[in-house]
Amino acid sequence: MKTISDVVMSDTAGRTGLFVTGTDTGVGKTWVAATLTRLLVQRGLLVRPRKPVESGCP
């Protein structure tokens, strides 16, 4: 299994998006996405995080 650091340190050339998914609420998707965002910004990348779908919204 890859760690967050493995993903961030891998070659990001040519990637235009990254999706964080999970099986349920409260499993840490937001924490993982925020950590990835912080680490990628530290590498000098332009990051535009979005949360396009929220559970329970009408």
Summarised one tens digit per residue, pLDDT across range 18-27 is 888 888 888 9
Using a cut of 0.75, tell me whether the model's pTM lies above it. Answer: no
Query: What is the average pLDDT score of the chain?
Result: 79
Q: Is 16's pLDDT higher than 90? A: no
In the chain, the amino acid numbered 5 is: S
> What pLDDT is stored for residue 13 in this prediction?
63
In the annotation, is 2 catalytic?
A: no
Please say if the pLDDT value at position 51 is more than 70.
Answer: yes
Burial 44-53 (b: 16+ CB within 10 A, else e): eeeeeeeeee
User: Rounded CA gap, 39 and 31, in Å?
Assistant: 12
Q: What would the mean pLDDT of 29-49 be, rounded to a whole number? A: 89
- For the chain, percent of residues with pLDDT exceeding 90: 10
Q: Determine which one of 3, 51, 52, 56 is catalytic.
A: 51
